[in-house]
Amino acid sequence: MTHNFTFLRHGYSEGNRNSILQGQLDSELVPEGKQQIHSLSEGWKIEGRKFDRIISSPQVRARQTAEIVAMHLKAPIEEDATWMERNFGAGQGLPLREYDQLLKTKPSLSIYAPPYEEGES
């Protein structure tokens, strides 16, 4: 039996627009992001692509993305918190430029060390 997986990141969100480190903070899709997903979904529909199910993070931007795809392709959505974005601890919500500057002031962390002494590695 063959299984095919398609991975899709959420559409352009409010956090993306404002260059914010979103992490596990909720951020809605902006109109451009919704249009991205509508266009992609319509293309998939034209290609005849079908999905048995859509697995989505419960985060707003991911859920909105999944709902648009599901509407076009008539696929059920299953939420799974395992797919939530990484928790960046106190870095969540910071402008990306500020987060990058802050990281430069800290010693290099191992990829296994959590950022800001909290969050996920």
DSSP 103: H
Residues annotated as catalytic (active site), given as ranges: 10, 85
Number of CB atoms found within 10 A of residue 16's CB: 18
Distance CA 38, CA 60 (A): 17
Distance CA 51, CA 2 (A): 14
User: CA 42: distance to chain centroid?
Assistant: 20
